[in-house]
Each structure stands twice: as C-alpha cells, then as structure tokens.
Amino acid sequence: MQKSNFDISSTGLDITISACYDTDLGRIYFEECFTRLGDQLVYSEGSLSDFEKEYTFTIAELKSAMIDQFTYYTTLDQLKQDVKEFTGASWSKVKKANLIEYAKNHLYDEKEWQRFCEKVGFTPNFDTVVSQGYCQGDYKEIIVPHAFWEAIGVPKPECVQSNLGSTIDHLLWDCPIHCRFTVNEEEFYIDQELKDVYNWDKSEALEIASKLIEGDYTQEQKAVILQFLASALPTELDYQ
C-alpha cells in the first residue's frame, strides 16, 4: 500500500506513506538465516555455510555400535578383517577418522550414516527446533549447530527451542513489516522502531511517527502529517 496526500499547495507538505507485509524482504531474511543441507535447513545466520550434520562419540563407542549393528549377517572376525582391508590397520590400532570412513562406506550414503548415529544414540553436535505454521501441513524441523553459538559469541542456552523457536517460526511462516513515510522527500522509518516487526499495530505506528517528526516541524505541520498518516494507514496490512 502506498498513498500520497496530493495537497502540497495548501500545506507545503508532500507526504507519502508505504506500508505492507514485505514478501521480498521475508525471502531475503530466510536466505540470510538458513543454510540448506540436502532437504534439511540449518539455522546459521550465514555463519556456518560448511556445516555438516555430525555426532560426538569416542572410538570405543563407535566400535561397540558397529559390532552391534554390522554383525547381523557376518561375524565379528569378518568385520575386523573388513576394517583392516579397508583402512590398512588392525581393529585394535585403527584410527577414529579411518573407522568413520569405513562405517560411512559400509552404510553407502550420508543419510544412512546419520540414521545409524541416531539409532545407536550418539550425541548430536546440534539441536533440533520444531516449527509449526498456521496450516496442518506447516511443520519443519530446523537444525541449530552447537557451533552456531560459538560463531556469534553467545553461550548456548539451556533450551534452544524456547530461545529460538519464535524467531524461526517468523522466518519460516511470516513476512516482516515494511512501513515508511516521506515528508518533502525526507524519509522516516517506522518499521525500524516497531517492537515486533511481524505484528502490525496501527496505533503503535502512529506513536512512532509522532516521535520521528518531533522537533523537525511546527505544531501545525506535525498535525497535518499525523492526520494524513492516521487516515492513510490501514488497520490491517496487505502482503506485497
């Protein structure tokens, strides 16, 4: 929505207002905050473009899990022999990185490796935030790496869901507000002062506008500007 007062001759003020839920800006925020990992989304704010979904475990835990999961159709001795042939090291001397490489090769692809880690209970080096939108099918699980908090210099909160849940909900399902007005080509940014850029409150916008023009105009000019904004701003915003 964009409106002008068309009354420059009588007031000496050329006023234009623009206000909407900004779908383009919502798309920009989405791309800036999420990194794609296959069909999954990683919340990274651009800090972790090279993130890999991995887990924390010792070599002893990996060996125990492999014995439990990989010996259904073979013997332990055969498993140890396969590891030696693949890595060039015996079961007792194989290095952790080489054993991981063998396990991933055995499981064929990255998703199967992730399922294996989840199944055997390895500790993930990430949290999962669940987000639900406004329709029945609006459901998404978002990966939040532990390293993200280190990258932004903030201690990882005890509950990531309660700390980031509403932010991720907005980024996935909502659009931020664009609301600005100009007076004789000088631009004022109402949207930058809103308490919640995703929820429109006309009365709050008018209060902000009043503060933005304080000191720059006479009382008569200020009254003209606010009267125009009060009539031009909608109670509900459209999406553009």
Question: How confident is the model at residue 136, as a pLDDT?
Answer: 84
Question: How confident is the model at residue 147, as a pLDDT?
Answer: 87
Question: How confident is the model at residue 200, as a pLDDT?
Answer: 97
- C-alpha to C-alpha distances, 23 to 27, 31, 33, 83, 186, nearest whole angstrom: 6, 13, 15, 53, 25
**SS3 (DSSP) at 20:** strand
The contacts found for 2-8 with CB under 8 angstroms, 24 or more apart, are 3/232, 5/228, 5/232
Measure the CA–CA gap between 101 and 94, rounded to whole angstroms.
11
- pLDDT tens, position by position, 141-159: 999 999 889 888 999 999 9
Question: How confident is the model at residue 104, as a pLDDT?
Answer: 92
**SS3 (DSSP) at 94:** coil
Measure the CA–CA gap between 37 and 91, rounded to whole angstroms.
33
Question: How confident is the model at residue 215, as a pLDDT?
Answer: 84
208 in Cβ contact with 190 (< 8 Å): yes
Residues with Cβ within 8 Å of 70's Cβ and at least 6 positions away in sequence, in order, are: 79, 103, 106
Within 4-95, residue ranges assigned H as helices are: 8-11, 23-33, 59-70, 76-87
Question: How confident is the model at residue 111, as a pLDDT?
Answer: 84
pTM equals 0.78
* Spans of the chain below 50 pLDDT: 9
DSSP state, 160? H
Question: How confident is the model at residue 80, as a pLDDT?
Answer: 95
**SS3 (DSSP) at 183:** strand
- pLDDT tens, position by position, 60-89: 999 999 999 999 888 999 999 999 999 999
